[in-house]
Structure 1
């Protein structure tokens, strides 16, 4: 199932979106694209849409299970416009988006499907879930020059912090229940990362609604979607384990020669298990046990 653009898909098979939840995977290249798709299918996403260049191929086990839409990652605003078009086409449906070489983890994801998570979250009258983008990186850059290795993956065990999110339209007062989160490689190598791209928070899981728009800073036009919790107690949060920053830093000529290794005294092997992320405080179970 391959379409030249999202409009063609919506015209031909809009009914597919009714199954939900829907995972949108945006491929900037083909690095670990197949493992990204398999990971999210195993979590229980009923529909997986791969936005990818036509020149890339998928393994046989994914070809019939994945909706392919031609996508040019070099076009400015391409992700934002496609997400917003899908929001308009699927009101009420739970959606998720990420890039290739990114992997969603949520509390107890080894034994509970994404549909169970979203059902509980909806019962708490929440329409969006905060996700922290946790940087992964290969431990040995000589062996893995792109900094991507599932078998040799590391993450930072500390160095994460949050600042109040200021409201420019309200004399820079802090926004209610909104914070800007920082840490990981974007913090350690901030001299190579534009200031507007240093945050690690993303509203990765959300329910489509009429008029809702994704903005270019990974926040939404409805401010309640951008909150980390409801007013009365803490809510579930999730994490997206991501090689994207490490890959970019080692692919960029302006930074690659300055980085001999991403490992430091606060590095630890990534265990590919939600328990580790919970123990490090990188996601929150809320009232879900």
Structure 2
């Protein structure tokens, strides 16, 4: 299934949005695009939409299994525009969005589907879920100059922290149940990261509704969507294991020569298992057992 533009899909293919949850994958390049698409199909998403430049090929085994939409996710504001458009066309459906070389992990994802988790989250009267973008990186940049290596992926086991998210419209008082989270490569190499791009929190999972808008900082226009928990107890959170920052730091001429290795004393191999992320406190099972 292939569409020449987002408008073409919304005009002739929107019936594919009738069943959720739906994954939106934005391909900034070809790096690990195939594994990203396969991973999210394996999670149990009913539909996987791939927004990709027409110069990149779709892996043969995914043709007919993934909806390909010709689109340039690297254009200014392109991702929020696409998320808003799909959300408006699929009101009530749960959605997830990420980029290539990013992989969703949630508590017990090895034995439970994304649909099961979101059904429980819906029962808790939650319409969005906080995810932490956990930076992955290859330990040896001499042999892996792109910093992307699934077989040698590492992450930071510590160095994560949160600050109150202030409200400029309310004398900069802290917002209710909202925090800005930091850590990983964006913290260790902050001199190469613009301040507005240093946060690692993202509302990656959300329930579409009319008028909902995604902001450039990965928060939504509905402030309740941006909360990490409901008022009465902790809720589920998830993690997005991501090579995106490492890839960008090594691709950017302003930082690539300053970074010989991402490895440091708090680096540990990534086990590709939700248990490791739970043990490190990088996601929360809430009341779901």
Query: Could you report, residue by residue, the CA deviation over 1:118-146 in whole angstroms, capped at 9, with x for unpaired residues?
Result: 00000000000000000000011011100
Aligned residues of 2:52 and 2:68 also touching (Cα < 8 A)? yes
Q: Which moved more, 1:278-287 or 1:67-76?
A: 67-76
Q: CA deviation at 1:74?
A: 3.1
> After superposition, where does 1:245-264 map in structure 2 within 5 Å?
245-264=245-264
Aligned twin of 1:224: 224
Size of the alignment, in residue pairs? Answer: 289
Aligned twin of 2:10: 10
Aligned residues of 2:6 and 2:71 also touching (Cα < 8 A)? no
Query: Could you report, residue by residue, the CA deviation over 1:2-37 in whole angstroms, capped at 9, with x for unpaired residues?
Result: 112111111112111012110000000000000000
Q: Distance in 2 between matches of 1:69 and 1:59?
A: 14
Aligned twin of 1:280: 280
Q: Distance in 2 between matches of 1:125 and 1:74?
A: 34
Aligned twin of 1:174: 174
Query: Could you report, residue by residue, the CA deviation over 1:245-278 in whole angstroms, capped at 9, with x for unpaired residues?
Result: 0000000000000000000000000000000000
C-alpha root-mean-square deviation of aligned residues, in Å? 0.6
Query: Could you report, residue by residue, the CA deviation over 1:172-207 in whole angstroms, capped at 9, with x for unpaired residues?
Result: 000000000000000000000000000000000000
Aligned twin of 2:75: 75
Q: Distance in 1 between matches of 2:188 and 2:234?
A: 29
Q: Distance in 2 between matches of 1:39 and 1:181?
A: 25
Aligned residues of 2:101 and 2:244 also touching (Cα < 8 A)? yes
Any stretches of 5+ residues in structure 1 without a counterpart?
none
TM-score by length of 1: 0.99
Q: Secondary structure at the match of 1:129?
A: strand
Aligned residues of 2:24 and 2:48 also touching (Cα < 8 A)? yes
Q: Secondary structure at the match of 1:283?
A: coil
Aligned twin of 1:125: 125
Q: Secondary structure at the match of 1:9?
A: helix
Any stretches of 5+ residues in structure 2 without a counterpart?
none
